[in-house]
A and B are shown apart, each in its own frame.
Chain A
Amino acid sequence: MLGPLEIHQPATAAEAAELRARLGDDAAIYAGGSELLLAMKEGLGRWRHLIDVKTVGELHDLREDGGALAIGAAVTHRRLERSPLVGARWPLLRETEAQVANVRVRAVGTLGGNLCFGEPHSDPPTALLVLDARVVLRGPRAERALPLAAFLVGSYETALGGDEVLVRVEVPEPPAGAVGAYLKFGFHERPTVGVAALVVPAGHLVREARLAVGCLGPTPARLPRLEARLAGAALAELERGVDCRDGGFAELDVVSDLHGSAEYKREVAAVLAGRALSACAARARRAA
């Protein structure tokens, strides 16, 4: 047993934020529990109160809103994986969500919980970074929005205030014709390295390329130097495979961990980046 516990069931995000402000460090936000309950079982955290944000209706919304996908914080990975809307218009997100952990974790784990936990070895944040996602946080008085990159501060660390709750994630629709790919590699349940790529073609050339790499360091990161180099490249060249090893991995904050040395993880990331770009180019050619 993890208790004794009291579980609070707020009806609104504002109520959840007020509870956080009132209960302070004695309370944790609880959604799917796939991260939180593990931490509690391992004794890494102990809370007397859980604030079950799944009782907040708007946190289950999943809809298009003004050209962006609005994902309520309590929407599960499984819903994102199976949503026809996500599959049709945000296929990179669908492809990533389908690769999260296993079917049981996806059934209960939520996107909001995943982001708020700040686990460095995670899949969705990497894809959301190339999709230019932002998060909307609700405090006791008002909402504020932050780019995802500003929300993810460090290892298990986010910009979420002590009196705030994550309400939704907003994902702009990618530019017309954009093709994406998410590739991961790992021997453990969590990914060793994950790479997301998004390529916007213009004829047989690359108009814009976006790349993000996850799990190397405390937070996922975009690769602006490589992105700039790829603009204007031929799709055929991408499909054959570009060498990404000098793509800016040396400048990233890379951590040696259970999954491998920093040197090894950089090398895997460069290989996956090349393959992800190749997959995008192949998909773009088939779509043309």
Chain B
Amino acid sequence: MTTVRAPGFVLETTVNGAPVRVPIDPGELLLDVLRERLGLRGTKRSCEVQVCGACTVLLDEVPVSACTLLAYEARGRRVETIEGLAREGRLHPVQQAFLDASAFQCGYCTPGMVLAVKALLEERPDASTDEAKTWLRGNICRCTGYASILDAVATARRFMDGRAATAG
């Protein structure tokens, strides 16, 4: 049996494709490590109780709430934040779709929404609007409204289909 404690515990993980080694206390939350230690402020703090989705990041491609996850859980795994989506100055198709559909207003929920939609479409490329509604139940927007966000999902689905076709 092993026990992890500070000092001495070094979190070894991958964030947005790059290896990261950071000494932490096992009691630190992933949200704090991302924002305060790694300077990745795109992941937002909001409800703190896994309801709103503003702190959504992907852990091995699956959405999780960074606010209620020990950073310890990221050891040996891949974390993806909103900062990791654009490639060589080009937005990810889901980001572009949110722009094209004007699917944000204040933008606070957007990083979490974008990551949740990316995970959905990678898991189910042909997800219906109803499936998208169910999937996004845990991502709350308080200003844009959901219609344009669902439009963005439909647009992103077309973009990603096109990308798959091009790649194929």
Which residues of A are interface residues toward B (Cβ below 8 A)? 1-11, 15, 19, 33-34, 37-38, 41, 50, 55, 78, 101-105, 107-108, 189
| CB-based nearest B residue for A9 | B2
In the bound complex, do residue A108 and residue B53 qualify as a contact, i.e. CB atoms below 8 Å apart?
no
- Over the window 60-83 of chain B, the binary record of Cβ atoms lying under 8 Å from chain A Cβ atoms (1 yes, 0 no) is 001111001110110000000000
Given A7-B72, A33-B69, A103-B116: A41 and B64 within 8 A (CB)?
no
B residues contacting the other copy or chain, number (CB 8 A): 34
In the complex, which residues 86-112 of chain B have their Cβ closer than 8 Å to any Cβ of chain A?
none
Given A4-B25, A103-B135, A104-B50: A37 and B68 within 8 A (CB)?
yes
Given A103-B116, A104-B53: A8 and B26 within 8 A (CB)?
no
Of the A-B pairs whose beta carbons lie under 8 Å apart in the complex, a sample of 20, sorted by A's number, is A1-B25, A1-B27, A1-B28, A4-B5, A4-B6, A4-B27, A5-B26, A7-B4, A10-B1, A19-B1, A33-B69, A33-B73, A38-B49, A41-B68, A102-B50, A104-B63, A105-B138, A108-B69, A189-B49, A189-B51
| CB-based nearest B residue for A190 | B51
- Please give the distance in Å from A32's CB to the nearest CB on chain B: 9
In the bound complex, do residue B27 and residue A11 qualify as a contact, i.e. CB atoms below 8 Å apart?
no
- Over the window 1-30 of chain B, the binary record of Cβ atoms lying under 8 Å from chain A Cβ atoms (1 yes, 0 no) is 111111000000000000000000111110
Q: Which residues of A contact B65 (CB under 8 A)?
A: 104-105, 108
Which residues of B are interface residues toward A (Cβ below 8 A)? 1-6, 25-29, 32, 48-51, 53, 56, 59, 62-65, 68-70, 72-73, 116, 119, 135, 137-139
The dominant DSSP class at the B interface is mixed
Given A5-B25, A37-B70, A41-B48: A104 and B4 within 8 A (CB)?
no
- Please give the distance in Å from B55's CB to the nearest CB on chain A: 9
In the bound complex, do residue A107 and residue B64 qualify as a contact, i.e. CB atoms below 8 Å apart?
yes
In the bound complex, do residue B3 and residue A8 qualify as a contact, i.e. CB atoms below 8 Å apart?
yes
* Cα–Cα distance between A102 and B27 once the two chains are bound (Å): 24
Q: Which residues of B contact A37 (CB under 8 A)?
A: 29, 68-70
In the bound complex, do residue B63 and residue A9 qualify as a contact, i.e. CB atoms below 8 Å apart?
no
Nearest 5 CB-CB pairings of A with B:
A3-B27, A102-B138, A5-B27, A2-B27, A6-B5
Q: Which residues of A contact B50 (CB under 8 A)?
A: 34, 38, 101-102, 104-105, 189
